[in-house]
Structure 1
Amino acid sequence: MFPDPLNAEPMTPVEPEGTSRDGGAEGRLKTLILMRHAKSDWSVPVDDRRRPLNERGRRQAAEAGRWLRTFLDARGEPLELAVVSPAVRAAYAWDLAAAELDEAPPVRREELAYTFDGDDLHEVVRGLPGDVDTVVLVGHNPACEELLDRLLEDGAGEITPQMKTSALAVIELADWTSRGRLVAHGRPPN
């Protein structure tokens, strides 16, 4: 069972006990951690790309980082890359989350991640380096929910989780071009 410090919408483990991360003959599974940016501050008169986080967003982003640290520690795997939208609210949410990690991964600011279209995010995922196994992708809705719809395997009986602000969803895939399965999801309390 995975740790659960997110208590508003608990991080729900989906992985059955004893499931292996070994992808068998095809090698190690890939882990995509999808994170929606934290709550932004609409009272600041700036364009969409420059909108900052509000107080709640700053709290939630740090809490998401604490959950991520615990999750990664429990699985014994490092986070190898953070792919982050260049929008201020996404970049700052990641900075706050990364500050909670034992070791923050390299960050790639990805222009294509500043999108509201799941196809664009899917293109980002398909372009991830094959030698990287664990990646966090910080983006926006509805693109995050649309990406989850595209990535989850058909017939798995899974309902795509809502990606509210600061929500996290963990998906395991055979490779960055395949569909996968939901391992955990949730979000910090308000």
Structure 2
Amino acid sequence: MRSCSGFVRNPSHALSVKGANRLVARVASAPAPPLQQTTSYSNPSEGKTLRRLILLRHADSDQNSGVRDHDRQISETGRKQASQVAQLLKSKGWTPDLVLASNSKRTKQTLDEMCEVMDELGDVDAHYYGSLYTVAALDGQTREHIMECLLEVVDDVRNKVVMCVGHNKGWEEAASQFSGTAVKLKTASAALLQCYSASWKEVLQDSVQWQLVEVLVPAV
């Protein structure tokens, strides 16, 4: 399997759990944000740019009891799933220009398999966060943390399609909270969200409801 050597892998994020202590401390006191948000950015207007967000769950992985969860590898089914979801994204014109991902092995392997189909994905700036692995297991915190991580690296001019790759339960919660509707994400499924806004900072607020365009589900 070819590795996506074009990815700019951020070593500081890959080796550390960003904000882990803060996240754990808030588990008991932070309720999940409400599903229904208050502001819709689904219609184009003067000075607004269409911004797209892909929330992709990692591909199917091997259930090996002798390997810690973080190091589980994707299965043969997972490889096919990753290839299929990449084909679907490419056919719909949703090619990411920025990637944020959990630093788990199965997440990285999912992206490597996708690169076999989406060659351009190999040249995309990618940031791996240990905290995106950790936060997905916590109640109601994933959406906020995705927004925090994204605002650290996103560029209003260069980045129009951002893909975040991670884990349930957090990814389903985040997709549901972004869109204001219940979203289910099977392995290698992707929620396609979009908004018109003047900046990423403007659209990455708790009060903003994104348009859920579609949920892509591999046939495997």
Please report the TM-score for the alignment, with normalisation by the length of structure 1.
Answer: 0.76
Query: Does 1:30 find its partner at 2:51?
Result: yes
Q: For the aligned residues, what is the CA RMSD?
A: 2.0
1:184 aligns to what SS in structure 2?
Answer: strand
Query: Does 1:98 find its partner at 2:119?
Result: no
1:106: how far off? 1.5
- Are 2:64 and 2:72, in contact at CA under 8 Å, matched by a contact in 1? no
Higher mean C-alpha deviation, range 33-42 or range 109-118: 109-118
The answer for the alignment partner of 2:211 in structure 1 is 181
Count residues with an aligned counterpart.
161
Alignment map for 1:17-166 (pairs within 5 Å) = 23-43=44-64, 45-72=66-93, 78-104=95-121, 105-114=124-133, 115-116=135-136, 117=138, 118-128=140-150, 129-131=154-156, 132-153=159-180, 158=181, 160-166=182-188
Larger radius of gyration: 2
Distance 1:127 1:29, change over 3 A: farther
Distance 1:44 1:66, change over 3 A: farther
Distance 1:126 1:112, change over 3 A: same
Please report the TM-score for the alignment, with normalisation by the length of structure 2.
Answer: 0.67
Decide which structure has greater helix share: 2
Structure 2 alignment gaps of length 5 or more = 1-41, 198-202
Identity %: 25
Distance 1:112 1:179, change over 3 A: farther
Structure 1 alignment gaps of length 5 or more = 1-20
